[in-house]
Structure 1
Amino acid sequence: MTDLWTAVKDLPIAIEGSSFEALVPSGPVDTSGGGGDAEISTTHLRLRGRGEEGVGEQVGTPEAQVELRESAFPLTGEWATLADFLAHLDTIEMWSEPPEHALARNWRRWTFESAALDLALRQSGTSLAEALGRAPQPLTFVTSFGLGDPPDIDKVARRRALHPTVGFKLDVAPSWTPEIMDRVAGVPGVATIDFKGQYGIEVEDEAALLAMYERVLATFPDAVLEDPHDLPAVQELLRPVADRVSYDAPVTSVRSLEATPIAVGIVNVKPCRVGRLRDLSRLYAHCEAAGIRMYNGGMGELGVGRGQAQLLAALFHPDAPNDIAPSDYNLGDPPADLPASPLDPAPDRGFRRR
């Protein structure tokens, strides 16, 4: 089967102009997980040429959005292949000043690579699915959040009642007592427990942390266990269930996946965190060859980036606990009439043919 890079690298591309567009959420977002930002925004990059338009989406801090929209980049021209244009991107400094977080370079790179791929596909009159020779399948998705501090015990049950087809990825905390865990586990659909252990957050009470891990293992026997802490005691607890251990934050390449403290049976492959089509293709191929299950997650996309991630999931891992629910699931008060899971892989959802 054709790999992603081989399928698209030889597409020609012509760019006559570009522009940026600011995006904001349709309402207040749920920041109970502790990783959210009340000032969330993203930016669309639009590349135009030969009567077509390709779009990519930049995620990251509001400051990064403003910096991007105020920048100018030498993007116009004609390239024999998409690979040639992406090599041209290597010659461009995409930041006026180095970003605070090095990973932001990958997020921005994906903005340009995804927009270029979208445009190249359109100019060639094809779709990503057709180029790959894969048919997108109905997409299973979950919605992710924390319970807040103090924990809102009934939040999961309320969300499940409102959206009964949707599963959950939940940010766990040492404050989750056995009662809280039992109440949460009593609600169908808890697919992933996220420990947030790979973000460099200081562990204040190791004993309480280990007790939390023990309660999770006892209460959620089937859930994916994402981003555990690197503490030796934690690794010892998790090795017997290594097939359920996953990493998210460190995963940007095959090499990074091979360097995880616990060899995984499942992994979160986020396109914008990987940043480059060639590296994303290598990760997909490596995981498929090694029998490593995949799912993906969002990074606060508000526009086309969410649809592109959904389409990639529908092509490469449709039946997994993909944390890419439609963006309005991230609102503090999500409406009741949101799309159900599995999501129809509609032809207008990212990297599409018009």
Structure 2
Amino acid sequence: MANPVPYAPVAELPLTVEALDYEQFEQKTSSEFTRVTTVFALNGDGKTGRGEDVAYDTADHERLAAAIDDGSFSLPNGSFSFGEFSTALDAVALFLGEGPERDASRHYRRWGVESAALDLALRQNNTSLPALLDPEHQSVRFVASTRLGDPPTTDRVDAIQARSPGIGFKLDPTPDWDDELVEDLRGRNAVRVVDLKGHYEGTSVDAEASPAFYSRIVEGFPDAVVEDPLLTEETRPLFEGAEGRVSWDSPIHSLGDVQALPWEPSWLNSKPSRFGTVAELFRVIRWALSNGVNLYGGGQFELAVGRGQAQELASLFYPDGPNDLAPSSYNEASLPTELPDSPLAVPLDHVGFGF
């Protein structure tokens, strides 16, 4: 069988890095927090490549900006192959001083740098991922991801459906969802994924892994993919015979993590930034496609180029999944009058990385 996601053509791309710049973005979101991200801009041979650091803690971005401004943060300069540049990053301290607020941010920052380098290498060579890897772009189907507030209501779902009647949803249930709310949402025939967020600790989205809560959601949405349950002695029996509905996201940062799951998965949420490096992302996608695993893309509240890069990967490798990659206007605290419809069209005359 041919390699479905070859890394070698990307690793061999010539790359010249001469300078580093950055830009920060900020947006109030529907989840009642202010999102800050940093876009790395790598310059070389008259071209610029961009990638987005999606670490969730504003303090990490503030320290990064200060370190770039005072020259204490730098990246390797010179001529490389893309693979050589990635290897050189292993010796670079991407966090200085205190380090990140949470360990997962190390992957997010590494991805921000690597995706900028990939964008730059593709632009310097006047090419694109489809030209290198063979698969063609396809239109990307996406779902809208939202929380329902405290106390939970369908107001946000109603507002999105009024603007985009055929949209599907990826929802984050909470233990205070009652039977009436579940029945209302199920009746809309629009819930594609329910994210139990069972592997988060110390965050604003932690959800208790109680059997009653899980049972209400698993049984209440019989056709939905169930993402990230926390399996305990009490909750594991709820998934006996239904393992094929379960998907994984937060615990997955490498192929080793995938292979250590309690059973071989039928579904995986592929969030590029969780894997840190292009090589590891490709390794996981290659394994999944070779083993018949259903993939769908996930977003991280990107505010700039990161969303378009995740959309392009979905376009190449999993265009028909319940991709949590709606345009960022879906995440705005106050929804615009009109929202883009699914699927996303493929841009023409594409060079570089990202839609």
TM normalised by structure 2 equals: 0.92
Residue from 12, 15, 25 that aligns with 1:13: 15
1:58 aligns with 2:53: yes
C-alpha separation between the residues in 2 aligned to 1:346 and 1:142?
A: 20
C-alpha separation between the residues in 2 aligned to 1:59 and 1:321?
A: 21
1:86 aligns with 2:97: no
Q: Deviations over 1:139-167 (max 9, x none)?
A: 01111111112111343233212212321
Q: 1:261 offset after TM fit, Å?
A: 2.8
Q: Deviations over 1:62-102 (max 9, x none)?
A: 111112222221332111x1111111111211111321211
Q: Deviations over 1:240-281 (max 9, x none)?
A: 111110111001111101122343200111100111111111
SS for the counterpart of 2:194 is: strand
C-alpha separation between the residues in 1 aligned to 2:288 and 2:125?
A: 29
C-alpha separation between the residues in 2 aligned to 1:220 and 1:138?
A: 27
SS for the counterpart of 2:243 is: helix
Amino acid corresponding to residue 25 of structure 2 in structure 1: L
Q: 1:214 offset after TM fit, Å?
A: 1.7
Are 1:23 and 1:43, in contact at CA under 8 Å, matched by a contact in 2? Answer: yes
Are 1:310 and 1:349, in contact at CA under 8 Å, matched by a contact in 2? Answer: no
Q: Deviations over 1:297-334 (max 9, x none)?
A: 11111000000000001101000011111111001222
Amino acid corresponding to residue 188 of structure 2 in structure 1: V
- Report the more deviating stretch, 100-109 or 159-168: 159-168
C-alpha separation between the residues in 1 aligned to 2:143 and 2:134?
A: 27
- Report the more deviating stretch, 193-202 or 314-323: 193-202
1:323 aligns with 2:317: no
SS for the counterpart of 1:285 is: helix
In structure 2, do the counterparts of structure 1 residues 212 and 59 end up closer, same or farther at CA, with 3 Å as the change threshold? same
C-alpha separation between the residues in 1 aligned to 2:266 and 2:140?
A: 20
Q: 1:296 offset after TM fit, Å?
A: 1.5
In structure 2, do the counterparts of structure 1 residues 312 and 105 end up closer, same or farther at CA, with 3 Å as the change threshold? same
Q: Paired residue for 1:35?
A: none
In structure 2, do the counterparts of structure 1 residues 204 and 138 end up closer, same or farther at CA, with 3 Å as the change threshold? closer
Q: 1:335 offset after TM fit, Å?
A: 1.2
Residue from 67, 70, 73 that aligns with 2:66: 70
C-alpha separation between the residues in 1 aligned to 2:9 and 2:256?
A: 23
Number of residue pairs aligned between Structure 1 and Structure 2? 344
1:132 aligns with 2:133: yes
Amino acid corresponding to residue 113 of structure 1 in structure 2: E
C-alpha separation between the residues in 2 aligned to 1:198 and 1:160?
A: 29
Matches within 5 A, 1:67-216: 67-71=63-67, 72-79=73-80, 81-97=81-97, 98-200=99-201, 209-216=210-217
1:220 aligns with 2:216: no
C-alpha separation between the residues in 2 aligned to 1:252 and 1:277?
A: 12
C-alpha separation between the residues in 1 aligned to 2:309 and 2:151?
A: 35
C-alpha separation between the residues in 2 aligned to 1:139 and 1:88?
A: 34
In structure 2, do the counterparts of structure 1 residues 11 and 204 end up closer, same or farther at CA, with 3 Å as the change threshold? closer
Q: Paired residue for 1:46?
A: 41
Matches within 5 A, 1:218-297: 218-297=219-298
Amino acid corresponding to residue 116 of structure 1 in structure 2: A
Q: Deviations over 1:153-193 (max 9, x none)?
A: 34323321221232111111121111110011112321100
Q: 1:352 offset after TM fit, Å?
A: 4.2
In structure 2, do the counterparts of structure 1 residues 210 and 110 end up closer, same or farther at CA, with 3 Å as the change threshold? same
Q: 1:4 offset after TM fit, Å?
A: 4.1
Q: 1:199 offset after TM fit, Å?
A: 0.8
C-alpha separation between the residues in 1 aligned to 2:104 and 2:268?
A: 18
CA RMSD of the aligned region, Å? Answer: 2.1
Long gaps (5+) in structure 1: 33-37
Q: 1:339 offset after TM fit, Å?
A: 1.4
Long gaps (5+) in structure 2: 68-72
SS for the counterpart of 2:170 is: strand
C-alpha separation between the residues in 1 aligned to 2:351 and 2:14?
A: 19
Matches within 5 A, 1:29-44: 29-31=29-31, 38-44=33-39
Q: 1:105 offset after TM fit, Å?
A: 0.5
